Amino acid sequence: MAGSDCLAANDWICGEYVRSRSQELTDATLQHLWITGASVAIGLLLAFPLALVARRWRPAAGPVLGFTTVLYTVPSLAMYSLLLPVFGVSAAVVVTGLVLYSLTILVRNILAGLEAVPEDAREAARGMGYGPLRLLFGVELPLALPAVMAGLRIATVSAVSLTTVGAIVGYGGLGNLIYEGMNSLFKAQVLTASAICVVLAIAADLLLLGVQRLLTPWTRGRTNARAARRIRIRARKAAV
């Protein structure tokens, strides 16, 4: 009776709502997760070559960074509305919009991370016979990972938040429940779905932080300069 009472009273916190709508909450959460994950993954795949182009051809850096910045200034409602004629009412509208938003953060962070790699680390790697691809993936990217992961964390948390706006086309994950609850003044639904969104954002950030620490052990008490020094020492030994 106490559980049904909180539903009848339209309380903000209601355990009966969570129990009776558990499947609905699960489905919305799973949709939220796959939209967020797909958009960030695609954004990362697109941002990496764009950052490489901006670094390789300096005249292209301004247009690339400027274009991605302009995309980020478009309001999310307007972005999704502009994409509707292209993709129709589908999840592709939301995913594409989030991909475009993520490019601003990811391109800048990847570019900043690559440009922060010490030049002596590059020289030492070239002295060891590293070609362009091996230099990029074996030296530059590992040293740029802290900046890249920082951008990935920001892009992911932003995507968790902006996915909710996808409710305007029916693909907003937990945003669907939030907007439905606001329209019907269903307090428990609004608060529960919002709280899950916050938990997802925090969990995603902590998970990526853990991945970052796992992939960049030298940042724990070591600097990029020390990593570069190790490469130089190996290069000297190889030369001898």
3-state secondary structure of 128: coil
The CATH superfamily of 22-239 is: MetI-like (1.10.3720.10)
What length is written for the chain? 240
Q: What are phi and psi of 107, to 5 degrees?
A: -60, -45
What does the alpha-carbon distance between residue 22 and residue 5 come to, in Å, rounded to a whole number? 18
Query: Does the predicted TM-score (pTM) go above 0.85?
Result: no
Looking at this protein, which amino acid is placed at residue 16? E
| 67-102 pLDDT, tens digit each | 888 888 888 888 888 888 888 888 899 999 999 999
What does the alpha-carbon distance between residue 117 and residue 129 come to, in Å, rounded to a whole number? 18
| 55-72 pLDDT, tens digit each | 888 787 788 888 888 888
What does the alpha-carbon distance between residue 15 and residue 18 come to, in Å, rounded to a whole number? 5
Report CA 11 to chain centroid distance, whole Å: 34
CA distances from 128 to 32, 151, 223 (A): 46, 31, 21
Contact residues for 218 (Cβ-Cβ < 8 A; gap 6+): 224, 226, 227
User: pLDDT tier at 239 (50, 70, 90 boundaries)?
Assistant: very low
